[in-house]
Homo-oligomer: A and B are copies of this chain.
Amino acid sequence: MLQKRIDDQPTISREMVREAQEILHRHLKRVGLKQTAQRDTILKTFLETRDHLSTDELHRLVQKKDAGIGYTTVYRTLKLLAECGLASEVAFHDGIARYEHQYNRRSHHHMVCTECGSSVEFFSQEVGELEQEIGRKYHYLTTRHTFQIYGICEECRKKSSRPV
C-alpha cells in the first residue's frame, strides 16, 4: 500500500522546491545577479500552484507570505524564472500574460473556454513531432511552440441552454 501523505502541501514536495531553488541560484550566479529572500519566496509560492498565474495573481499569493514584496519584484522574478526555464509564458487571448511552471513537466497544451476563461491541459506527442518536422522543412532551428484550442466547455454550454 502507498504510504499515507501526512502533509497538505499542494502539488509539490520540499525536495522539488529545493531543486528548483538550486536551478535559480545557479542561474543568478551565472548572470552575475544575487540571491535574495524575496526571489526565493516568489519561486516557492509560484511552485505551490498549478494554475496559470498572471503577475498580479502571483503577487497576491506572495503577499500572504510576505506583505512587503512588491508587484515589481514579482514581475521581475517571473522574467528571471522564465530565463532559467523554471517558468514559461503562456498567452491565452485575453490580454494578460500568464506563467506556468515548466519544472519537471512534459510539454503540454491548453484548451481554453472563451466563455468562462477556464482551461484544461492536455498532452499530445504528435504536436512535438510536428514542431520538428515543420522546422526541418523550412530550415528553422525550432525552440518551442504553443498550441491552444478555444471553445466552450460543457459547463458553459449547459448554462447557455437554460438561460437565467
Contacts and interface: CB of A to CB of B under 8 A. Distances in A.
A28 interface: no
A141 B140 CA distance: 34
How many chain A residues sit at the interface, stated as a range, is 20 to 34
Nearest to A122: B134
Interface of A: 89, 91, 93, 111, 113-114, 120, 122, 124, 126-127, 130-131, 134-135, 137-154, 157
Contacts of A113: 140
A87 to B, nearest CB: 14
A126 B135 contact: no
Contact of A143 (B127, B144, B146, B150): B150
